[in-house]
Each structure stands twice: as structure tokens, then as C-alpha cells.
């Protein structure tokens, strides 16, 4: 990994994201992704990507983890980690950035792979998310 030193809390998220990637359903792309989010309670929720033959119905790992956070009764996240098993770390896609912003606009974001690590914030990655204003 790179020279970035993670806090114990963020390292736990990366580890949980890596574990999540092991459960990915990726028969089409073979691109296994895991994600873990930390709720305001401190609880960690992990997810993996779930591909679908129709492609558009594929669900990213970040959104699976957010679904678990919300279904557990939480609506605030403080940090997210995304793990990809090969190559460079993958940042959350645009849809995931929008969904993450709904629950933690200022969340810490860590993306990791076996060879690299990057830490940033969601507000740096996605400074102006869509906001519903009736």
C-alpha cells in the first residue's frame, strides 16, 4: 500500500470493505468491489457490488452498504471505504457520490487496492450534489 497512514478506525473500514469484495457477484466484469460505511453510531455496514445481466440493474457496493445503514435505522454516515482487488483504487461513481452525499456530505472517503491507497472527503469529490428544494 501507499505511504498514507490510516487511523485504526479507517483501517477497520478498509478491512471490512476488502472482506465485502470477497462476496461480490461479478460474473460479467469480474471487477469485485467492496465498500464499508460507518454510521454516526459507530456501527460499520459493508456491501459488495451485485451485477445483473441487464447491466443497468447492477448495484454498486457503496449503495449496498448505504442500504444496510438505512435499513438498520441510521441516516448519517461519517466515513466510507471502497476496496477493489486489482489495479488502482476506484473512486465512487457519480450515482454513488450522490447517494453518499444524501447521508454524509462531509464524510471521509478512503479508496484502496492491494497496491495503493487514497484518502479524501466526499465534499472534495462531489462539491455540489443535487439537493431537492420543493
Q: How far apart are CA 83 and CA 47, in angstroms?
A: 10
- Active-site hit among 12, 51, 62, 128: 62
CB 55 within 8 A of CB 28: yes
Contacts of 134 (CB under 8 A, 6+ apart): none
Q: How far apart are CA 36 and CA 24, in angstroms?
A: 13
Q: Is 74 a catalytic residue?
A: no
Provide the annotated active-site residues: 62
Amino acid at each position: 500500500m501507499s505511504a498514507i497512514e490510516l487511523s485504526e478506525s479507517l483501517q477497520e473500514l478498509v478491512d471490512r470493505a476488502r472482506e465485502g469484495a470477497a462476496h461480490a457477484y461479478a460474473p460479467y466484469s469480474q471487477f469485485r468491489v467492496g465498500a464499508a460505511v460507518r454510521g454516526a453510531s459507530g456501527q460499520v455496514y459493508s456491501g459488495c457490488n451485485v451485477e445483473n445481466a441487464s447491466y443497468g440493474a447492477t448495484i454498486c457496493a457503496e449503495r449496498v452498504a448505504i442500504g444496510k445503514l438505512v435499513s438498520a435505522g441510521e441516516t448519517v454516515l461519517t466515513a466510507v471505504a471502497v476496496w477493489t482487488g486489482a489495479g488502482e483504487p476506484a473512486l465512487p461513481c457519480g450515482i454513488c457520490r450522490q447517494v453518499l452525499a444524501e447521508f454524509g456530505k462531509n464524510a471521509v472517503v478512503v479508496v484502496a487496492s492491494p497496491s495503493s491507497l487514497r484518502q479524501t472527503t466526499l465534499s472534495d469529490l462531489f462539491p455540489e450534489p443535487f439537493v431537492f428544494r420543493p
